[in-house]
Amino acid sequence: MKPYKVMVIVGEASGDAHAARMITQLKQQAPEVQVNGIGGKNMRAAGANILVDFSELAVMGLVEVLKRYRTIKKIFNQIVTSLKTDKPDLLVLVDYPGFNLKLAKQAKKLGIPVLYYISPKVWAWRAGRVKTIKQVVDHMAVLFPFEQPIYQQAGVPVTCVGHPLVDAVENKQSNSQAKTALGIDDSQRVLGLFPGSRKSEVEALLPIMLQAAEQLSQQDNNLNVIVPLATGLDKAWMENILSQSSLEISLVEGDFYQTTKACDAIVAASGTVTLEIALLGVPHFIIYRVAPLTYQILRRLVKIPYVGLCNIVTGKPLVLELLQDEVTVDRLDKELTQLLTDPKTKEQAETVRQQVLTALGPAGGAGHAAQLVISMLEKS
């Protein structure tokens, strides 16, 4: 292949991870392809040149986005200028539709082919976006089998490449081995607090998680509490929040899957991470809170009964979801106590793992996405 240029745009940690897996496969199949874009440490490690760190864009919620509008707009203009001055052969947009669909429109004006990798959740809300996608996107690469017919019916070229987590989520360590690797005594029960990868999520969820953990530790003095440091979050900023707790809490960097496997129970912010926890067979439940106005708007727009990906892909309430006013210290304490003491929870977590794995479909997702990139480059 000739030295093609590809621009990849992500807006959050899960997008950075998914894009990195695709770029890794792309570099193996076509090492001469140059990749630039918005991303994080995962994309950088995969060989991409990062123009802007995605952490500048990682905001969740309508009200929260408005607060960061100027920063987001400045980055948008920077990328549009880059598209004009250093025109890529292909623009790959990864989820993050509020930003990326507007960027696709600009690319269309410039005659740049657009591949959209990881569909906006049109099956959950804002189904009208499919019409916009038909106008500005050349090809959709979707993760879930149920997404493909949505675009086929709308006349949008689409390929179901498969979910990359089917291949990526693998840790053969036992719970005991993972604890040992992290220097945790096997006799201790480990509680994982996973507050999300955006600052707005952490600010909304981590304080209440910490209060619940403090309450729980009063009944269990053999509890070890750990928090993984999500990609894109500042370590010192996270340590400052954790220092306000009366508990000694470990902020863990490094192997995320090993950290997850070491946990006996996890409370996690809704997002891709919950799919990873499920695929590792760890007992958990999902929580989420946004600004009250954002929630009132979303509850009128969202047309599916679940927010957790495990529940969405299987169409079943496999994992408990607590939203908004349900997210209280006492409720978290109650649910965590049950996960840590009920002997059936690990067996139930394995059942969830099997059902989610079946629902996700074929393996090789990142490789299939890379092949699609190469195919579109050759056509260009």
pLDDT at 125: 65
Q: Characterize 123-160 residue by residue with b for buried, 16 or more Cβ atoms within 10 angstroms of its Cβ, and e for exposed.
A: ebeeeebbebbeebbbbbbbbbeebeebbeeeebebbb
Judge whether residue 63 has pLDDT over 60: no
Which tokens hold the place of 369?
């996405």
Q: What is the dihedral of CA 232, 235, 237, 242, to 10 degrees?
A: 120
Tokens found for residue 11: 């807006």
The answer to whether 5-164+364-379 and 175-360 have equal CATH topology is yes
Domain boundaries, the chain: 5-164+364-379, 175-360
**pLDDT surpasses 90 at 231:** no
Beta bridge partners of 94: 117
- pLDDT value for 64: 60
CATH class of 175-360: alpha beta
pLDDT-based confidence at residue 376 (cuts at 50, 70, 90): very high
Enter the tokens of residue 287. 């929580």
pLDDT of residue 340: 95
Highest mean pLDDT among 40-54, 68-82, 122-136, 282-296: 40-54
Query: What average pLDDT does the structure give for the chain?
Result: 92
How far apart (Å, rounded) are the C-alpha atoms in residues 18 and 11?
Answer: 11
pLDDT exceeds cutoff 90 at 115: yes
What is the spatial distance between Cα 94 and Cα 16, in angstroms, rounded to a whole number? 8
Residue 106 contacts residue 89 (beta carbons within 8 Å): no
What's the pLDDT at 65? 66
pLDDT in tens, 235-270: 999 999 999 999 999 999 988 999 999 999 999 999
The pLDDT of residue 361: 79
What secondary structure letter does DSSP report for 174? -
- Please tell me the class of the 5-164+364-379 domain: alpha beta
Burial (0-12, 13-18, 19+ Cβ within 10 Å), 241? middle
Which comes out higher in pLDDT, residue 67 or 267?
267
Give the model's confidence band at 287: pLDDT under 50 very low, under 70 low, under 90 confident, else very high.
very high
Reference 284, options 266, 269, 257; nearest CA is 266
pTM of the model: 0.78
Say whether 291 sits in a helix, a strand or coil.
coil
Contact between 373 and 94 under an 8 Å Cβ cutoff? The reply is no
Angle at 14 between CA 10 and CA 15, to 5 degrees: 20
Burial class (CB in 10 A: 0-12, 13-18, 19+), 77: exposed
CA distance 291 to 204: 9
CA 117, CA 141: separation in Å to the nearest integer? Answer: 5
Q: How many angstroms separate the most distant Cα atoms in the chain?
A: 64
